[in-house]
Amino acid sequence: MAGTQAVGAQVSGEWTDYGGLDGPGLDRDFWSPGYPPLPGGARSTGDIGAEVVVANQEVCVTIPRFSFAHDSFQPADNVKYLMFSQQLALPAVGPAAFGVDMAISTLGASSADVRLGMASLNVVDERSGLVFDIGGTSTRMIAVHEALSFAVGEQAAFTHLVESPFVDLSDDLTRFRSCEIILDRERGSAEWLVDGNTIYRQEAIPIPAQVKVGFGLFTLYPIRSGVSRSVQGQGLRGRWRRFRFKGATPTSQ
């Protein structure tokens, strides 16, 4: 897909900034852990090496060397750090948009391999297991579309990573880039944008009625023969500022 300005749904109205970044830590009235449920009902805990700094309306999460792994449950093995917002309801008619400015630094690994470590903007419905993310490394940015196995079952689950080769991001994602995801229930469409350029678009797909916005650090290595391969001495740093949405409504659920 060529790098062009967004050609999909346009969301009217002004952005609403999402809070909880006044510091010195994350405000838990706005943000809560989003780790996946484990078989048996417990929750994954993520990587204990995560260093979280909140200041100047920005959150920075650094894991110098990943240490958390899970040998049997892929979603848990993937998630090294993940926080979710309050729930936001999408309109039945018209699009909603979710955005953040994000900067990413790959530590101790090749930034060419997103499987070794990816920081992301997450837009997730835990009930349906539908996921719409923008993730990346120091040099690559990708769209992520998922249906998670713990919600839809193994047969229906999928994870797709899409990179648009002609969207030129100057091979430097260590500086802040605008990341936005537009979802339209009425049209059944999703659009992923970086710096105003569409990097991926899907039509005629299920769009949930509600989502949570999140941010996190992930690996994407498949478990092999009952052994995690996600911890290879590498780490990652993600920085996020100005979480925002429009066309959606905060709910009490």
* Contact (CB, 8 A) for 192 and 202: no
Instruction: Quote the pLDDT of residue 40.
Output: 84
Q: Is the peptide bond between 24 and the residue preceding it cis, with omega within 30 degrees of 0?
A: yes
* Contact (CB, 8 A) for 8 and 191: yes
pLDDT tens track, the chain, 253 positions: 333 333 334 566 799 999 999 999 999 999 999 998 888 888 889 999 999 999 999 999 999 999 999 999 999 999 999 999 999 999 999 999 999 999 999 999 999 999 999 999 999 999 999 999 999 999 999 999 999 988 888 899 999 999 999 999 988 999 999 999 999 999 999 999 999 999 999 999 999 999 999 999 999 999 999 999 999 999 999 999 999 999 999 996 5
CA atoms within 13 A of residue 169's CA, in its CB half-sphere: 29
* Contact (CB, 8 A) for 236 and 105: yes
- Assigned CATH for 20-250: 2.60.120.200
Instruction: Quote the pLDDT of residue 253.
Output: 55
Instruction: Quote the pLDDT of residue 100.
Output: 98
* Contact (CB, 8 A) for 136 and 118: yes
- The domain locations on the chain are 20-250
Instruction: Quote the pLDDT of residue 221.
Output: 94
The dihedral of CA 240, 242, 244, 250: what is its sign?
positive
